[in-house]
Copies of this chain bind each other. A is one copy, B any other.
Amino acid sequence: MSDLLARLRGRGWRMTSQRRVVAEVLDGDHVHLTADEVHARAARRLPEISRATVYNTLGELVTLGEVIEVSTDGRAKRYDPNAHRPHQHLVCSNCGTIRDVHPTGDPLTDLPVEERFGFAVSQVEVTYRGLCPSCARPTPAVPGAHSAT
């Protein structure tokens, strides 16, 4: 992600302060922010940035393959900048915290031909669920209090 801005410029992306801020907000490991969270963080540095711009920019980053869209609950999509290393997600059933995980093996091989119904299967998403260490403790975190880091 560090040289993301350079890659984008190389692809002919017009560099604006808004796009720069959005790209910078989406930096780090285990980052899974919603569009609104991205907007809030971007607005701390660029108060006049609009929601539409955040949505547009996130959509472009997804199209360019620099960011992955994740929807682990039925609610807002989350944006994962860890797009260059294949991974799956581990989600706390209580507080919603998400971690990137790397299972062994290839889940594609687990789907027999007779279970493919003639589909040309090309992709697999795996979501593991369970209680995170904090929520497994006697005083669990309140639901919905996703730390969003």
A67 to chain B minimum Cβ distance, whole angstroms, is 14
Are B126 and A107 touching (Cβ within 8 A)? yes
Interface centre among A73, A90, A108 (most CB of B within 10 A): A90
Q: Identify the stretch in A9-17, A41-49, A130-138 within 8 Å (CB) of chain B at 4 or more residues.
A: A130-138
A69: Cβ under 8 A from any B Cβ: yes
Are A133 and B118 touching (Cβ within 8 A)? yes
A127 to chain B minimum Cβ distance, whole angstroms, is 5
A120: Cβ under 8 A from any B Cβ: yes
Point out the residues of chain B lying under 8 angstroms from A90, CB to CB: 111, 115-117, 119, 121
Which among B73, B107, B129 is the interface contact of A121 at CB below 8 angstroms?
A: B129
Given A119-B133, A120-B130, A124-B127, 4 other A-B residues pairs in contact with their CB atoms under 8 A: A90-B115, A101-B117, A111-B128, A118-B133
